[in-house]
Amino acid sequence: RYSKMSVEEMVARVHEIKNLLGKRLFLPAHHYQKDEIVQFADVTGDSLQLAKISAENKDADYIVFCGVHFMAETADMLSADNQIVILPDLKAGCSMADMANIHQTERAWIELQKLFGDTILPLTYVNSTAEIKAFCGKNGGATVTSSNAKEMVSWAFDQKERLLFLPDQHLGRNTAYDLGVPLEDMAIWDPISNQLIFDGTNLEQVKVILWKGHCSVHEKFTVDQIADFRENHSEFQIIVHPECTHEVVRASDLNGSTHFIIETIKHAEPGTSWAVGTEMNLVNRLAQQFSDKKIVSLNPNLCPCLTMNRIDLPHLLWSLKNIIEGKVENVIKVDEETKKYAITALNRMM
Ligand code: 13P
Ligand code: SF4
């Protein structure tokens, strides 16, 4: 639709519409967004920061959310009823969030109750649909982000003997392990075969049930890549996101949320070298921002989040133009029943 406009024209038009709408428009962007979007962001943040900021902003009529679908759903649930949340491209989803749907989860819950009775608490990473969040809210559980996973898993163990962690097995495993749960006490729930995968003999031993989901971006970092840095570029420190596999997290020097990665690199000594295991747009931006340090991706083939990258300048302009023309499209609206319980889960976390 905008193929005839140059990038400069599109940039100028976005600025123009932003000025026209003023405070009526709020434009949050996740750290993984492209620079062509981040340049317009009113605020950038990780999932936890964006969830909190969306809850605080009560001025804007329109929240044009530059991130993925589950984040826009959260923004809708935490914003005021009169605020309209727009996702510039509805195909900007999250493959991890799509790995747990509500039917699979309800089906799994029935089986898990048969195996473990009322001893399980469900926790879901915020990278999940509003329906999964609502499921957790209804069943005494809560949401988790990579910034507060340890606190939330500890909290879950204060409530119940064991927990079901959705949908990212790696964040669940890495967090539980850091809190002292041995790998032998963790089982995997396979939503396709609807079965528990557990190597041990005594089910009583299972303390953490990990949903078999993963992030297609972070799973691409490998121990071989780390070994290559150790052997050939030993001056590099390795820092990764806990959505990476357990082996990668253990082999790295540091691991933590997007916020942790940014803060660590920001405060690192000038002249230090960092190989970073997270999304490519963020790594490239860190390299530009902190040019006194050497910052590269741990994965030589780079690794964009393809769905995040669906939000681009033409889609942003299209959404903004729709607003001023009074034909708002791509509105994200979570139904009231789902919202009620999903907010319970979010509030328990916040
Ligand atoms: P955080 O923003 O919570 O670090 O999560 C990373 C991510 O993969 C977002 O989709
Ligand atoms: Fe989902 Fe991974 Fe992309 Fe984050 S980086 S939105 S978890 S696919």
Q: Please tell me the residue having the least CA distance from ligand 2 atom 1.
A: 94
| Nearest-ligand number for the alpha carbon of 257 | 1
- CA 320 to CA 55: how far, in whole Å? 22
Q: Mark whether 320 and 280 lie in a shared domain.
A: no
What is the tens place of the pLDDT at every residue in 191-232?
999 999 998 889 999 999 999 999 999 999 999 999 999 999
Distance (angstroms) between ligand 2 centre and the Cα of 150 equals 20
Q: Mark whether 114 and 204 lie in a shared domain.
A: yes
Q: What is the number of alpha carbons within 13 Å of residue 146 lying toward its C-beta?
A: 24
In a domain, 170, yes or no: yes
Q: Mark whether 227 and 271 lie in a shared domain.
A: yes
**258 assigned ligand-binding residue:** yes
Q: Mark whether 195 and 101 lie in a shared domain.
A: yes
The residue type found at 53 is: I
Distance (angstroms) between ligand 1 centre and the Cα of 230 equals 26
| Nearest-ligand number for the alpha carbon of 281 | 2
What is the tens place of the pLDDT at every residue in 261-289?
999 999 999 999 999 999 999 999 999 99
Note whether ipTM > 0.90 here: yes
Is the model's pLDDT at 319 over the cut of 70?
A: yes
Q: Mark whether 102 and 174 lie in a shared domain.
A: yes
In a domain, 250, yes or no: yes
Q: Mark whether 119 and 201 lie in a shared domain.
A: yes
What is the separation of C-alpha 111 from the centre of its chain, rounded to a whole number of angstroms? 28
Asked if 153 contacts 142 with a C-beta cutoff of 8 angstroms, the reply is no
- Which of 150, 177, 211 is the C-terminal boundary of a domain? 211
Q: Mark whether 283 and 324 lie in a shared domain.
A: no
Q: Which ligand 1 atom sits closest to the C-alpha of 145?
A: 3
Tell me the mean pLDDT in the region 307-319. 95
Is the model's pLDDT at 2 over the cut of 70?
A: no
- CA 31 to CA 9: how far, in whole Å? 25
What is the tens place of the pLDDT at every residue in 46-69?
877 887 887 788 889 999 999 999
Q: Mark whether 109 and 197 lie in a shared domain.
A: yes
Please give the pLDDT value at position 34: 93
Task: Check residue 330 and give left, alpha or beta (phi > 0: left; psi -120 to 50: alpha).
Answer: left
In a domain, 54, yes or no: yes
Indicate the number of domains in the chain.
3
Handedness of CA 109, 157, 344, 30 (dihedral sign): negative
Q: Which ligand 1 atom sits closest to the C-alpha of 32?
A: 9
What is the separation of C-alpha 211 from the centre of its chain, rounded to a whole number of angstroms? 16
In a domain, 1, yes or no: no
In a domain, 2, yes or no: no
Is the distance from the beta carbon of residue 258 to the nearest atom of ligand 1 less than 6 Å? yes
**330 assigned ligand-binding residue:** no
Token readout for 239 is 């820092």
What is the tens place of the pLDDT at every residue in 233-244?
999 999 999 999
Distance (angstroms) between ligand 1 centre and the Cα of 268 equals 22
* pLDDT more than 90, % of the chain: 91
pTM of the model: 0.94
**126 assigned ligand-binding residue:** yes
H helix intervals, the chain: 7-21, 35-38, 47-56, 69-78, 102-116, 130-138, 149-159, 169-178, 223-232, 246-251, 258-266, 280-289, 313-324, 336-349
| Nearest-ligand number for the alpha carbon of 126 | 1
| Nearest-ligand number for the alpha carbon of 68 | 2
Q: Mark whether 179 and 227 lie in a shared domain.
A: no
Query: What is the domain-level CATH number for residue 249?
Result: 3.40.50.10800
Q: Choose which residue among 70, 216, 220 to substitute to test ligand 2 binding: the one with the highest number of ligand atoms within 8 A of its C-beta.
A: 216
Average pLDDT, the chain: 95
Give the chain's radius of gyration (CA, Å).
Answer: 21
Cβ neighbourhood burial of 345 (10 Å; 0-12, 13-18, 19+): buried
Q: How far is CA 2 from CA 8, 13, 20, 345, in A?
A: 12, 11, 20, 41
pLDDT confidence tier of residue 33, bands split at 50, 70 and 90: very high
Is the distance from the beta carbon of residue 168 to the nearest atom of ligand 1 less than 6 Å? no
- Which of 211, 236, 256 is the C-terminal boundary of a domain? 211
Straight-line distance from the first to the last Cα atom of the chain, in angstroms, rounded to the nearest whole number: 41
In a domain, 350, yes or no: no
Strands 186-190 and 195-197: antiparallel
Q: Mark whether 196 and 106 lie in a shared domain.
A: yes
Q: How many CB atoms lie within 10 A of CB 253?
A: 13
Q: Mark whether 104 and 173 lie in a shared domain.
A: yes
In a domain, 265, yes or no: yes
Q: Please tell me the residue having the least CA distance from ligand 1 atom 10.
A: 127
What is the tens place of the pLDDT at every residue in 108-164?
999 999 999 999 999 999 999 999 999 999 999 999 999 999 999 999 999 999 999
In a domain, 40, yes or no: yes
Q: Mark whether 168 and 230 lie in a shared domain.
A: no
Distance (angstroms) between ligand 2 centre and the Cα of 305 equals 6
List the domain range (segments joined by +) for residue 69.
7-94+308-334
